[in-house]
Structure 1
Amino acid sequence: MSIEINKIHHVGHVVYEMETALELYRKLGFVCQPPAYPMMAGQEGETPKPFGAANAHIAFVDNFIEIVTVVREGGRIPDDAHFVSLSAPPTALSRIIASINRTVVTISRCLARFEGMHILVFSSSDAVSSAARLDQEGVGHGGVLTVQRPVETSSGTQLVPVRLLEIDDEHVIEGRLAFAENPPLDALQTQIKTDHPNGATELVEAILCTGDGEFDPCVARYRLYLGVEARTEGEARVFDLGGGRITIIPDSRLTDLLPGEALPSLPGFAGYTVKVRDLHATRRHLEAHGFPMIETARGDVVVPGASLLGTAIIFRQD
C-alpha cells in the first residue's frame, strides 16, 4: 500500500480565455490570485512578450485549484496579470522553454477534446519514492524535476522550489497526471490564508468518468498510480487518499452521481469537490449570483459543468 500519497495536490481547469474564467470563479465566490504569464524575447534585443501557458491559483491551506490557458498572439490578458520574465543560462533556458512547449502541446490537446478539467496532481510526501514505486509497477514517468511554485505571502509572491513527477503513460487520455510535493512547512506557514466568500476550505475529490467497457482497466491503472486498492461505492470505485479521494464512475451511471452531466469525450474528468464551512451559506451565495444548482442524493450542492466552462463543481459540507 502506498504511504507517500496523502491527498490531492491540485486540479487544473483548462480554459480558452483566462479573463472569462477568472470572472466566473470570482462570481462563484473564490478568491483568485493574479494570473502568471511567462515572458521571453524571441531574439536578443527584442522586447519580451508573453508566451507558453498562463495559470492562476485558487489557494487553500495545502492544496489548490489551477486555471490554465494557452497564451495566444493577440489574446486578451487580464489587467491584474503578473508577468514572469524567464532568464537563465542558455543551456538551462533551452530546457525551460522545451518544458513550456511540451506543456502547451498538452494543454492544446486537452482543449481540442473539450474545455474543462484535464489536470490532476497527487500530493506526495516524497516524489523520489513515488518514482521508485512507479518503476516497480512498470508505469512510465518523466523523472523527478524541481519546479518553482508561487506562494502568496504577506511580503509578496515567493517562488518556492518543489519536486514534481509527471506520469508518462500512453493510456492516460484524460489529461495530465502528476505527483508533486508541497512547499516546505515554513513556506506554507507564511502563506496568506485565503477566506473565500463562498466558504470553501479544501479541495477533496476529483471525479473521473470513463466508458463502460474501459471502466475496469481504468480502475486498474489508477491502482498502479496510487498504490492503494479502490473500494466500491454504488457503481463507482473510490480511492481514498487520506484528506481526499479519487472517484471513477462508468459513463452509464454518471448521472446517478452528477444529475444532468455528460462529457463530450471519454475518459474525462467530470468535476471536482470542495468542502465548505456552511453549505447553507454557500447555497445563498450561489443563488444570489444566479448560478443553477442541483442537490445530490447525499446532500451536496452541484453547479453543473454547462455553467462552468465544462467542469461541474460540487460543494460539500465540511
Structure 2
Amino acid sequence: MGYTITHLHHVGHVVEDMAQAITVYERLGFRLPPPRCPAMPLHEGGAPEPFGTGNTHADFPNSFLELVAWIQDGTTDRLPADAHLVPLEAPADVLPRLVEQIRETSANVAASLNRFEGLHILMLSSPDIDTAATQLSDADVHHGGVNTVRRPTPPGALKPVETVRYLEISGDDPDARSGTVAEGRVGVAADLDPDIQSARHLDHPNGAVDLVEVVLCVADQEMDAVQERYETYLGRAARHDGPGRVIDLDDAALRLVPASGLDALLPGERPAALPAFVGYTVAVHDLSLTRDLLHRNGLPLRGTPSGDAFVPSAAALGAAVTFRQARPRAGQRRPNSLVSG
C-alpha cells in the first residue's frame, strides 16, 4: 500500500542574512511578503524583541519556497526594515514550552547554517497526514507524531485562522538532533488549504507556478541506502534516470544523484556537504520569458541536459535554482506579463 504522500509541500532555504536573501530571490523573480519573526521581552519589563528564526515564503497554489534565517536574541541587523515582529501570546502554563520549542528550532537552524548556507528542509505533502503518520510508524520510520499549530491568515482569506499540521522524521543515529535526518529536516505536512493559499501572492514576475523537483546529492556508496530510505518514506519505487534515480510523486519528484554524477545533472555544481539537498526546480509559465528576466537581472544562467535552465548555487546563496517549462493545466490562469524583479 502506498503512503498518502502526493507532492512536494515546500523546501526551506536557510540563509545567513534575510535582507540579502530577499534581494536575491527578488532578482530571481519571486515575490515575497515581509518576513515574520517571533518576539518576546527578553528581560522583565522590556519590550518584545526578536528571537528564534525569521521566515518568509514565495507561495504557489499547492507549494512554496521558504527562506529561513537564524536570529540571535534581540538582533535585527539581518532582518529587513519591514520585518514583522510577532509577539508571543499564550497562557502562562503554555508559554515556557512554546519558547522552548522555538529555541529548539532555532538551534537546529543554527546548526544547519554552520554546516552550509543552502537547502536544509524538505516537507512532503499529504491530503491525509494522520494516515501517513500511521503508515510511517508501521514501516518503523521514527517521527515525533503530528503537530498542530495555528496562525493568522493573510488579508482576504476566507478563514481567520490557518491550521498547520505536520510531522518530522528522525534518523536512526542516536547522536542526531530530534526531528532531523542526515541531510536535514524532512517531514510531511497536510496539504495547503486552497481558500487560504489563494489569498497569498501567487503571481511571480518569473512566472513560477509550482515546486516540482528537489535534488538530494549523496555519496556514491550511500545511494542504495538513501534510495531505500526514501522509498520507505514515500511508499513508491525509484526509477533510474540519467546519473541518478527518481521517485515520482503525483505531480513532482525527488531526484537522488551520486556526488560523481552531480556535474552531469547540473553542470558546474559541487555539493557543499554530503548528503545534502543541492537544488530545486520550479515550473514556470513561459521558460523563454523567464530566461529573459533572469538575464535582465544580471544572473548567470546555465542549461541542463534535459533543457531546463538553472541559476548556479554560487549566485543563489548555496542552492541551484532550476526553471522548467510547466505542462499546461486546465483552467490555469496565465500572468499578464513577466517584469524585471
TM-score by length of 1: 0.95
> 1:254 aligned to 2:262?
yes
Distance 2:203 2:159 in 1: 18
In structure 2, which of residues 160, 163, 167 is the aligned counterpart of residue 161 of structure 1? Answer: 163
In structure 2, which of residues 141, 149, 160 is the aligned counterpart of residue 139 of structure 1? Answer: 141
The 5 Å alignment of 1:291-306 reads 291-306=299-314
Distance 2:111 2:62 in 1: 29
Deviations 1:208-235 (A, max 9, x none): 0000011110111111111111111122
Alignment match, 1:106: 108
Distance 1:79 1:173 in 2: 35
Alignment match, 1:52: 52
Partner secondary structure for residue 295 of structure 2: helix
Alignment match, 1:271: 279
Distance 2:217 2:253 in 1: 14
Cα distance, 1:182 vs. partner? 2.6
Deviations 1:120-139 (A, max 9, x none): 00001122111111111111
User: Which consecutive residues of structure 1, in runs of 5 or more, have no partner in the other structure?
Assistant: none
Call closer, same or farther: CA 1:146–1:155 in 2, change over 3 Å.
closer
Cα distance, 1:58 vs. partner? 0.4
Distance 1:122 1:113 in 2: 23
Alignment match, 1:15: 15
The 5 Å alignment of 1:1-318 reads 1-72=1-72, 73-76=74-77, 77-148=79-150, 151-154=153-156, 159-170=161-172, 172-189=181-198, 191-318=199-326
Q: Which amino acid aligns with 1:188?
A: Q
Partner secondary structure for residue 160 of structure 1: strand
The size of the alignment, in residue pairs, is: 317
Is the Cα–Cα contact under 8 Å of residues 106 and 175 in structure 1 kept in the other structure?
no
Distance 1:110 1:156 in 2: 36
Cα distance, 1:183 vs. partner? 3.9
**By percentage of residues, which structure has more strand?**
1
Distance 1:158 1:175 in 2: 32
Distance 2:86 2:153 in 1: 14
Call closer, same or farther: CA 1:168–1:87 in 2, change over 3 Å.
same
Is the Cα–Cα contact under 8 Å of residues 219 and 275 in structure 2 kept in the other structure?
yes
User: Which consecutive residues of structure 2, in runs of 5 or more, have no partner in the other structure?
Assistant: 174-180, 327-341
Is the Cα–Cα contact under 8 Å of residues 115 and 309 in structure 1 kept in the other structure?
yes
More displaced, 87-96 or 256-265? 87-96
Is the Cα–Cα contact under 8 Å of residues 52 and 100 in structure 1 kept in the other structure?
yes
Distance 1:149 1:214 in 2: 39
Cα distance, 1:301 vs. partner? 0.3
Cα distance, 1:151 vs. partner? 4.3
Is the Cα–Cα contact under 8 Å of residues 161 and 183 in structure 1 kept in the other structure?
no
Q: Which amino acid aligns with 1:45?
A: G
Deviations 1:270-303 (A, max 9, x none): 1000000000000000000111111111110010
Cα distance, 1:96 vs. partner? 1.4
Is the Cα–Cα contact under 8 Å of residues 51 and 75 in structure 2 kept in the other structure?
no
Deviations 1:191-248 (A, max 9, x none): 2352111111111111000000111101111111111111111221111111211000
Distance 2:116 2:172 in 1: 19
Is the Cα–Cα contact under 8 Å of residues 160 and 183 in structure 1 kept in the other structure?
no
Call closer, same or farther: CA 1:262–1:84 in 2, change over 3 Å.
same
Distance 1:85 1:158 in 2: 18
Is the Cα–Cα contact under 8 Å of residues 164 and 178 in structure 1 kept in the other structure?
yes
Deviations 1:296-317 (A, max 9, x none): 1111001000101100000000
